Amino acid sequence: MKKTICVALALVAGASLFTAEAAKKKTVQKPVEEKVQAVQLTSSSDSVSYAAGMTMTNGLLNYLLQQKMDTTMMADFVRGFMDAVKTADDPRMKAYMTGQNIAQQLNERMLPSLKTEFQDSPDSIMADVLYRGFTDAMLNDTTIFTLQKAEDYFSARQKADKAARDEKLYGANREAGIKFLEENAKNDSVITLPSGLQYKVLVKGSGAVPQSSDKVKVHYEGRLIDGKVFDSSYQRGEPSEFTPTQVIRGWTEALTMMPVGSKWQLYIPYELAYGERGAGADIKPYSMLIFDVELLEIVK
């Protein structure tokens, strides 16, 4: 039986086109709508194909919203879809559309991340110049850089800018930790190891000393040099279990020296803690940390 179904979406021709005169007057012409085309379904194959097409759109709207598409422009989406269908076998159009997809990924993901990375540093990322470098590389234009020289130059500037940015943002934090350790080393009860780790024995244990592969049970409290507690098993009311190799280097060194039953206070330079990266909201890059660590047992 012959069925006639009207398509819900009218295709819009020239939705984004304006005349020169209209542009001068800052008025927008209304898009010219094509007449709704009736779909003729004359066989069961037609019907199942049409139903399959509609079924494929299930969940698509949510995806389009995630892609930040303005869903009031659905007619333009349909027009783009049909243009792509018509040129699916055209290698030039495939290349063209692939370029558009890559541009979208670059603009929405890579470029914002790169701009953030270079914030508060001597250099900044200029989008127009970045695009030119990208396209010159794709066209094999080596007038300014070869790809290898570009990578070497970018890597060097990336490191230099990070160092300058870190100095600006966290230099005072690093220097405060260094000064603390220098003064702390003058305390007779504090032992300084060749690695730079410092510790003070609060309770002397008499049990076995863990190997790096042993699982240990410990109670601990971690503080910044201003006294702020950022982590505490005491506050949680439950000791923690792990192997010495699963924690920061300062802990690894201390745990493999402590007899069971000991309680030490550790003074850990940033190099043996979380280094240049920091950790979480409280531990800034280059933070020197203080821990009270109580070794309860070696877990068998």
Q: What is the pLDDT along the chain (300 residues), one digit of tens a residue?
A: 444 433 333 333 333 333 333 444 444 455 555 565 788 999 999 999 999 999 999 999 999 999 889 999 999 999 999 999 999 899 999 999 999 999 999 999 999 999 999 998 999 999 999 999 999 999 999 999 999 999 999 999 999 999 999 999 999 999 999 999 999 999 999 999 999 999 999 999 999 999 999 999 999 999 999 999 999 999 999 999 999 999 999 999 999 999 999 999 999 999 999 999 999 999 999 999 999 999 999 998
Spatial neighbors of 133 by CB under 8 A, at least 6 apart, are: 145, 150
C-alpha distances in Å from residue 146, one per residue of 56, 137, 207: 45, 8, 62
The reported pTM is 0.64
- How far is 234 from 293, CA to CA, in rounded Å? 11
Which amino acid type is present at position 207? Answer: G
- List, in sequence order, every residue forming a beta bridge with 12; answer none if it has no partner: 33
- How far is 67 from 108, CA to CA, in rounded Å? 9
Q: HEC string of 69-127?
A: CCHHHHHHHHHHHHHHHHCCCCHHHHHHHHHHHHHHHHHHHHHHHHHHHCCCCCCCCCH
> Helix crossing, 147-184 with 127-138: angle to 10°?
130
> Dihedral through CA 137, CA 139, CA 140, CA 146, nearest 10?
-20
Q: What is the pLDDT of residues 42-88, one digit of tens each?
A: 999 999 999 999 999 999 999 999 988 999 999 999 999 999 999 98
Among candidate residues 56, 1, 3, 11, the one with its CA nearest the CA of residue 32: 11
Instruction: For each of the domains in the chain, give its residue range(s) and CATH number, in order of start.
Output: 3-86 (no CATH), 101-162 (no CATH), 185-299 (3.10.50.40)
C-alpha distances in Å from residue 41, one per residue of 4, 49, 224: 6, 9, 73
- Residues serving a catalytic function are 220, 230-231, 248, 274, 291
- Between vectors from CA 193 to CA 187 and to CA 195, what angle results, nearest 5°? 130
Among candidate residues 228, 215, 204, the one with its CA nearest the CA of residue 283: 228
Give the pair of three-digit tokens for residue 137. Answer: 């590389």
Tally DSSP H helices, then E strands, for the chain: 10, 11
| Length of the chain as a residue count | 300
Q: What is the pLDDT of residues 87-117, one digit of tens each?
A: 989 999 999 999 999 999 999 999 999 999 9
